[in-house]
């Protein structure tokens, strides 16, 4: 919990362990994991954060420890969706990244996510190696310059271009329908609306402002937490309601009747859109708790099917090895071909809306 276990002192210890691990990796000339490719910026670390209590100050402190270990640091100057931070790591070809976030967990939690050079979460062997180095050395700190976000401006632009190229935004914006967006006070903010607004499509974003208490619910887009979104969908007679979790890497949805759609509904719709409208191919990955519909669609379209245990890490590993069209977990995490091997609630909000049109 923040201020009890999650303190500045403990954050410094973990960040120093991560720095020690990376310095050891760099000194030996080995990739940070057998699956990771070489990087163009072997001393660059990207640091980002969500909207939780003190997240910006925790991120600043983590950046200072990394700088104290002679890493160059690109620090986001405001809260950002985790998939954007992952995209920045990949685009800058950095050694790695840190995201201060507890994702969909309760408001008094926070976390320390490690990002690998490919733009996804660090594999278990990396996190284990970092854990083993905690307290091996005392934390070192150095001020981070005010221009530490300079490299991120073009990356933010390229992320927007990536989303825009992946979804037929022109067609969506010309629709006469209505859509309601609910970032649940999290890092998604007005990101989804920024892509959809500007033409005939009526877009309303609720709970867009920062509230470290997340309105009294966990920022997880599941049925019990989406009462406000259901209400606005019905009041606006919207085609669909779209929600993202606290760090915007997961997506949830509400249909035109105000009923929450499970991933058993959402993922097959996105898959059909990718196959039928976008004419894309590749394997399908489903966790064993996912809908049998995915299996039937894969068979109907002659797509290779993988089934994995629960957890997106298994999907991400396959995305690094094989030609995967879509991989989905039961809790709203969806990865798609041609993007980062990671969940992205911003991209998949657009993909869900497209499949509804």
Pairing outcome for strands 178-182 and 202-205 = parallel
- CB-count burial class (<10 Å; 0-12, 13-18, 19+) for 312: buried
Cα-only R_g, the chain? 20
Residue 38 tokens, joined: 């070489």
Return the DSSP state at 341: S
Percent helix, strand and coil across the chain, each rounded to 5?
Answer: 40, 20, 45
> Are the C-beta atoms of 190 and 242 separated by less than 8 Å?
no
Return the DSSP state at 143: P
DSSP 51-70: SSTTHHHHHHHHHHHHHHTT
> Are the C-beta atoms of 20 and 73 separated by less than 8 Å?
no
Task: Say how many CA atoms lie within 13 Å of 333 toward its Cβ.
Answer: 26
Q: 233, 169, 229, 158: which is closest to 195 by C-alpha?
A: 169
CA 346 to CA 17: how far, in whole Å?
31
> Are the C-beta atoms of 166 and 50 separated by less than 8 Å?
no
- pLDDT by residue for the chain (357 residues), tens digit each? 999 999 999 999 999 999 999 999 988 876 544 444 445 556 899 999 999 999 999 999 999 999 999 999 999 999 999 999 999 999 999 999 999 999 999 999 999 999 999 999 998 899 999 999 999 999 999 999 888 898 999 999 999 999 998 888 888 898 889 999 999 999 999 999 999 998 899 999 999 999 999 999 999 999 999 999 999 999 999 999 999 999 999 999 999 999 999 888 889 988 998 999 889 999 999 887 777 888 899 999 999 999 988 888 888 889 999 999 999 887 788 999 999 999 999 999 987 777 666
What are residue 204's DSSP bridge partners?
180
From edge to edge, which strands make up the β-sheet containing 334-336?
A: 305-308, 283-287, 324-328, 334-336
Reported pTM: 0.93
CA 68 to CA 29: how far, in whole Å?
21
Which domains, and CATH codes, for the chain? 8-159 (3.40.120.10), 167-356 (3.40.120.10)
Helices first, then strands: H and E counts in the chain: 12, 13
């Amino acid at each position: 919990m923040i201020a009890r276990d999650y303190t500045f002192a403990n954050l410094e210890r973990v960040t120093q362990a991560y720095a020690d691990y990376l310095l050891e990796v760099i000194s030996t000339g080995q990739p940070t994991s057998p699956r990771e490719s070489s990087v163009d910026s072997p001393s660059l670390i990207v640091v980002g954060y969500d909207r939780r209590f003190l997240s910006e100050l925790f991120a600043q402190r983590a950046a200072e420890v990394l700088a104290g270990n002679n890493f160059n640091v690109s620090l986001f100057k405001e809260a950002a969706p985790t998939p954007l931070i992952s995209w920045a790591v990949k685009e800058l070809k950095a050694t790695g990244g840190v995201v201060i976030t507890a994702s969909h967990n309760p408001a008094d939690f926070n976390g320390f996510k490690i990002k690998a050079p490919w733009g996804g979460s660090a594999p278990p062997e990396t996190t284990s190696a970092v854990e083993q180095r905690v307290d091996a050395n005392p934390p070192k700190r150095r001020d981070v310059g005010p221009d530490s976000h300079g490299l991120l401006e073009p990356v933010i632009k390229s992320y927007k271009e990536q989303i825009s190229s992946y979804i037929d935004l022109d067609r969506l914006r010309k629709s006469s329908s209505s859509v309601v967006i609910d970032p649940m006070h999290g890092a998604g903010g007005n990101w989804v609306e920024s892509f959809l607004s500007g033409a005939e499509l009526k877009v309303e974003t609720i709970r867009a402002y920062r509230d470290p208490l997340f309105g009294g619910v966990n920022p997880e887009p599941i049925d019990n937490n989406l009462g406000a979104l259901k209400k606005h969908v019905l009041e606006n007679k919207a085609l669909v309601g779209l929600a993202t979790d606290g760090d915007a890497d997961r997506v949830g949805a509400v249909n035109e009747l105000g009923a929450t759609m499970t991933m058993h509904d959402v993922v097959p719709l996105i898959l059909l859109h990718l196959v039928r409208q976008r004419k894309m191919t590749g394997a399908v990955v489903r966790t064993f708790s996912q809908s049998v519909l995915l299996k039937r669609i894969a068979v109907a379209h002659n797509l290779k099917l993988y089934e994995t245990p629960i957890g997106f890490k298994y999907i991400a590993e396959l995305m690094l090895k094989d030609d995967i069209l879509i991989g989905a977990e039961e809790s709203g995490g969806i990865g798609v071909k041609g993007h980062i091997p990671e969940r992205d609630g911003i991209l998949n909000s657009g993909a869900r809306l497209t499949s509804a049109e």
